[in-house]
Amino acid sequence: MFNRFWSRFFSSESSDESTTSTKNSKPDDKNSGSETEMTETSNEIDFQLMPTGLKKLLNKVDLSHPPGLAGDICEDLATLEYRALPNLRPAAAMMILSSVARQIENPPYKLNLYVISTALTASGKEAHQNYLKQALMDLGLDSKLHDTPRSDKTIMFDLLYSEGCSIYVLDEGHVLFRTALSSRASTFEKNMADLLLQLKTAKQYRLSGNLKREVQEQLIARLEKADKKKSNTAFQPEDKEKLKNLLELTNECIYDPFVNLISYSVPQNVAFLFSKKEIETGLLGRIIFVRGPSKRAPLRGHDKVVRPSKDISERLKAISTENLPTESLAARTTLHTIKEYLECDENRNHGMYGAIFARGYEQIRVVATLLALESKEIDQSMVIYAFKQFLNSLHECETHLSTQSKTSIEESQKLVELKVREYSERHGSGSFGVIRNNIFKCSAPIRKLENNQKDFLSNTLQKFADLGVLIKVGNNQYLHKSCISAKKLNTAKKQST
């Protein structure tokens, strides 16, 4: 059921959507990546629970072309790409709209986004980054743009100096997460992940503990330095005044902190992010994942300046942020149906993806709202697009996790067989219990596996016996097959049968 669902709505898009792609799309626009083969496991998602009506609506959605202004931004970007990357265009469009939406007061959900866009190296990702940055600068947001942060203190300084709104457009942004999630990371590096998680959803944030002290100490040092260099034109009175205001702010609550983040990487460089642990921490449920095609598109010969067209720039500047978009009756009804599906017990308490399902409705509401910023009404097409984008992101998580699971099991079994063979060569035959205990004591990786998967070692040894890797040579005594001569091996096999 799992494979059939994904193949129906995602892997087959190259053929199903050829007539509904953007007017600037080329035959090389579509994702030709192959689908990862799945085995039936308890972690599988039962899509039979999804209402038929939703499935029919999903069939009509082209993920490379969202409705409204976002779709027009995608078309504009398509004319400026060095190589076609249709799947990644909406990510840039949504980041632009999200940055505009930062001015909306008191939305029910925070309208910021964390996005990870992946595509092959040298596939043209830089055009998307350039377009996105230029669009933000045209909107007067260049002071909000920041480089890759190196610590939680950097993130906080970025937020303070840009008046509560930070936007990160990161090339090879996986480095940020790899650093923050590394077991060897320093405390201030590890704290980056926790701080980003908090800022994604927090309606208010108050500095505390070591982070507060470190930020205040650095601000005080800068103030003292400014006082000593009064004659230096680099330190104008307004700079000192800003430093004083920032110092005061560290003792107050920061309301509606707004952090937008998009990272561009290659798929294999973000694989480490996908784990049950990061699902349970809430990291994967806060991120939208987008993947480009599995093959590079042909190089397009143009020397255009990569920046939004005058029409797109003017429409973005004309967006009113006084009020939230309203919902049409069809949109409201569809949202209710989606909510019931995501919040059914089987999904919200799913053994692997429950934490992602639990944040799904919020993510869908946010994306649908951003799509309607210009029109001021969320229609059904915007809701169902946001739903399919959520499912696509979930599919990316499942693809990585299932691949890792297969690789991990195969590598683990090879490691166990190696240890069994070493035991047989050194000690001769032994019972399952003796062999198991010896391997468990001598191999840290196997101890970790045994702790994560109950009875992994015992089950693997039994499997080896069933497959003839372990040969029974006496009363509950087993020996690795490589340690038995061909003649004795045949005799042992006959006795075992």
Report pLDDT for 379: 98
Residue 38's pLDDT is 30
What is the predicted pLDDT for the residue at 47? Answer: 82
Identify whether residues 94 and 188 lie together within a single domain.
Answer: yes
Place of tokens 């939680």: 152
Per-residue pLDDT at 22 exceeds 90: no
Note the pLDDT tens digit of each residue in 8-19: 565 434 333 333
352-409 pLDDT per residue, tens: 999 999 999 999 999 999 999 999 999 999 999 999 999 999 999 988 887 766 656 7
Locus of tokens 């097409």: 381
Collapsing DSSP states into helix, strand and coil, what is residue 205?
strand
**Confidence band, pLDDT 50/70/90 cuts, at residue 313:** very high
Q: What is the pLDDT of residues 429-459, one digit of tens each?
A: 999 999 999 888 887 777 877 766 667 888 8
At 334-348, the pLDDT tens digits run 999 999 999 999 999
Give the pLDDT confidence score for residue 18 in this predicted structure.
Answer: 33
Query: Per the domain annotation, does 218 fall within a domain?
Result: no
Amino acid at 443: S
Query: 114 and 191 share a domain?
Result: yes
> Has residue 297 been placed in a domain?
yes
Which CATH number belongs to the domain containing residue 392 in this structure?
3.40.50.300
Inside any domain, residue 418: no
Count of the separate structural domains present in the chain: 2
Q: Which of 326, 348, 337, 323 is nearest to 384 (CA)?
A: 337
466, exposed or middle or buried, with CB in 10 Å at 0-12, 13-18, 19+? exposed
Asked if 432 and 399 sit in the same domain, the reply is: no
Q: Is there a domain that residue 229 lies in?
A: no
Q: Average pLDDT of 233-248?
A: 73
pLDDT: which is higher, 29 or 458: 458
Indicate the DSSP class of residue 318.
Answer: T
Q: Are 359 and 344 in contact (CB under 8 A)?
A: no
Q: Which residue's entry shows tokens 């229609």? A: 379
| pLDDT, tens only, 127-184 | 999 999 999 999 999 999 999 999 999 999 999 999 899 999 999 999 999 999 887 8
Higher pLDDT pick, 230 / 217: 217
pLDDT of 46 strictly over 80: no
pLDDT attached to residue 156: 94
Phi/psi at 66 (5° precision):
-70, 160
What secondary structure, in 3-state letters, does 55-78 show?
HHHHCCCCCCCCCCHHHHHHHHHH
Residues 200 and 284 in one domain: yes
What is the identity of the amino acid at 313?
Answer: S
Of 404, 419, 443, which closes a domain? Answer: 404
Is 242 a residue whose pLDDT tops 90?
no
pLDDT number for residue 442:
83
In this structure, are 182 and 259 located in the same domain? yes
40 lies in some domain:
yes
* Boundaries of domain holding 488: 428-496
Residues 153 and 267 in one domain: yes
Return the pLDDT at 445.
Answer: 77
Residues 399 and 459 in one domain: no
